[in-house]
Amino acid sequence: MRELNTFSVAARCPRTGQLGVAVASAVPAVGGLCPFLRAGIGAVTTQSWVNPYLAARILDGLAGGQDPDAALAAALATDDRPDLRQLGLVDGQGRAAAWTGAGCTPAAGHRTGPGYAVQGNMLAGPGVVDAMVAAFEGSAAQDLDERLMRALEAGDAAGGDRRGKQSAALKIVAAEDYPRLDLRVDEHAEPVAELRRVLLVARRQLVPFVAGMPRKDGPAGALPDDVVAMLLRPPAERPGTAGDAAPDLLRDVVGLRQEPRRVAHLLAQFAPVLAEIARLRDLDLADIHPPVVFDPTLPYRRVPHDDRRD
């Protein structure tokens, strides 16, 4: 068995039905061993002294009609050392469950809520899980990839794995049997910050490609011409690369250099505010108050006199 002391979030988007897992750890290749997802069925992360077969059994249970708690309990009943396991999962309806065995390395714990499960072990402290939950709940207006990324950044900024950093991953499935996103960073000094950079590139280059791939409920078709043209160009000339990126106001304009963990911490702290701003931008205030029109000529207009006398 391999111990994956790590922090992670498994979640479902209520708008799109997408399922995803984001995870980081101080061991290499965490994305290859922890996340297990099945479109429309569920998303599971298995960690601590990791047993991948538990994740597979949970997904089979969910596919067979079990609710998350029952699927989790049935899978753990097949294991000879459930005290060493940690798992988090959501099903295709957004119901969540989690397990932290008594033998998991402290600090260890989990929290679940509507559409998510957050868990971690060998953490810098219990505040890691709390910060991740706050970031996830505070970004409800965002797409699932952004919510998962913000939760991971918040956990990283709160201390993450107490041993240090090495790898991070983000995986999302939608309606197809192949992933919508499957991003991994291995053997990196700042894997979560690097995962954010890779995600920005993937949104511009990978997501349009995957959107044009064959689907099980329709014809294979062909990629749009603009996507084909983009992918025929060298990577350095495609959108989302360093040369194409918008200027960083702090770095490129003001001249400040911020340490990545500090930036991640600030983003996590202000995530609820940013989510509220995004929500307010979508409101139609005309339903609450009629529009106020400022007319600077109003004081200078001639008003007809009423010559009538009482």
Estimate the crossing angle of helix 260-281 against helix 191-211, to 10 degrees. 50
Q: What is the mean pLDDT of the chain?
A: 85
pLDDT of residue 196: 95
Phi then psi for residue 165, to 5 deg, are -135, 150
* Secondary structure element (H or E) that encloses residue 200, with its range: helix 191-211
Q: pLDDT digits over 191-229, tens only?
A: 999 999 999 999 999 998 898 888 888 776 677 777 777
Which residues, in sequence order, are bridge partners of residue 38?
A: 42
Token pair in block for residue 90: 């959501």
CA distance 290 to 239: 42
DSSP 96-138: EEEEE-TTSPSS-EEEEETTEEEEESSBS-THHHHHHHHHHHT
* Secondary structure element (H or E) that encloses residue 182, with its range: strand 181-185
Q: What percent of the chain has pLDDT over 70?
A: 75
pLDDT of residue 84: 96
Torsion of CA 158, 202, 200, 270, to 10 degrees: -40
pLDDT of residue 236: 76
Contact indicator for 86, 110 with CB cutoff of 8 Å: yes
pLDDT of residue 254: 52
pLDDT of residue 141: 93
pLDDT of residue 283: 63
pLDDT of residue 258: 59
Q: Tell me if residue 8 falls in helix, strand or coil.
A: strand
Q: pLDDT digits over 257-305, tens only?
A: 556 556 656 666 666 676 667 666 666 666 566 666 666 776 666 666 5
Give the mean model confidence (pLDDT) for residues 68-91.
98
CA distance 67 to 69: 6
Owner of token pair 């890691």? 128
pLDDT of 246 strictly over 60: no
Q: pLDDT digits over 113-155, tens only?
A: 999 999 999 998 999 999 999 999 999 999 999 999 999 999 9
Give the mean model confidence (pLDDT) for residues 21-26.
95
pLDDT of residue 218: 79
pLDDT of 7 strictly over 90: yes
